[in-house]
Amino acid sequence: MTEQKRKLEKLAGVKGMNDVLPQDAGLWDFFESTVKSMLRAYGYQNIRTPIVEHTQLFTRGIGEVTDIVEKEMYSFVDSLNGEHLTLRPESTAAVVRSSIEHNLLYDGPKRLWYIGPMFRHERPQRGRYRQFHQVGVEALGFAGPDTDAEIILMCQRLWDDLGLTGIRLEINSLGLAEERAAHRVELIAYLEKHVDALDEDAKRRLYTNPLRVLDTKNPALQEIAQNAPKLIDFLGDASRAHFEGLQRLLKANNIPFKINPRLVRGLDYYNLTVFEWVTDKLGAQGTVAAGGRYDPLIEQLGGKPTAACGWAMGVERILELLKEESLVPQEEGCDVYVVHQGERAAEQAFIIAERLRDTGLDVVLHCSADGASASFKSQMKRADASGAAFAVILGEDEVAGGTVGVKPLREAAAGGEKSEQQTVPVENLTEFLINAMVATAEDGDD
Span 133-164, pLDDT tens digits: 999 999 999 999 999 999 999 999 999 999 99
Domain boundary among 324, 353, 388: 324
Is the domain of 246 the same as that of 290?
Answer: yes
In a domain? residue 293: yes
- Residue 374: partners with Cβ closer than 8 Å, 6 or more residues away: 366, 368, 382
Position 69 scores a pLDDT of: 79
What pairing do the DSSP bridges indicate for beta strands 271-278 and 168-173? antiparallel
User: Please, what sign has the CA dihedral across residues 226, 228, 229, 231?
Assistant: negative
> Could you give the number of structural domains in the chain?
2
Domain limits at 142?
22-175+235-324
Position 446 scores a pLDDT of: 55
In a domain? residue 207: no
In a domain? residue 164: yes
Is the domain of 311 the same as that of 358?
Answer: no
- Sheet architecture: strand order including 74-77: 52-54, 84-87, 74-77
Domain boundary among 258, 290, 324: 324
Q: Mean pLDDT for the chain?
A: 89
Position 5 scores a pLDDT of: 59
Position 439 scores a pLDDT of: 75
Is the domain of 361 the same as that of 312?
Answer: no
For the cut 90, the answer to whether the pLDDT of residue 264 exceeds it is no
Look at 62-71, 196-205, 229-238, 380-389 and tell me which has the smallest mean pLDDT: 62-71
User: Could you tell me the pLDDT band of residue 27, with boundaries at 50, 70 and 90?
Assistant: very high
Mean pLDDT of 400-428: 81
Look at 77-81, 201-205, 270-274 and tell me which has the smallest mean pLDDT: 201-205
Most confident residue range from 58-67, 194-203, 267-276, 319-328:
319-328
In a domain? residue 101: yes
Mean pLDDT of 284-294: 89
User: What is the CA angle 205-208-209, rounded to 5?
Assistant: 65
Is the domain of 361 the same as that of 390?
Answer: yes
In a domain? residue 182: no
Over the Cα atoms of the chain, what is R_g? Answer: 29
Give the pLDDT confidence of 213-225 residue by residue, as tens digits.
887 778 888 888 8
For the cut 80, the answer to whether the pLDDT of residue 6 exceeds it is no
Helix (H), strand (E) counts: the chain: 16, 16
The answer to whether 428 and 356 have CB atoms below 8 angstroms apart is no
Position 46 scores a pLDDT of: 97
In a domain? residue 224: no
In a domain? residue 313: yes
Is the domain of 104 the same as that of 158?
Answer: yes
In a domain? residue 1: no
Position 289 scores a pLDDT of: 95
Look at 17-26, 46-55, 436-445 and tell me which has the smallest mean pLDDT: 436-445
Is the domain of 47 the same as that of 152?
Answer: yes
Residue 126, domain CATH: 3.30.930.10
Is the domain of 259 the same as that of 163?
Answer: yes
Give the pLDDT confidence of 57-104 residue by residue, as tens digits.
998 877 766 777 778 899 999 999 999 999 999 999 999 999 999 999
Is the domain of 381 the same as that of 253?
Answer: no
**Reported pTM:** 0.85
User: Which pairs from 412-416 meet CB under 8 Å and 24+ separation?
Assistant: 412/440, 412/443, 412/444, 413/389, 413/440, 415/439, 415/440, 415/443, 416/443
What is the helix (H) or strand (E) element at residue 29, kind and residue range?
helix 22-41
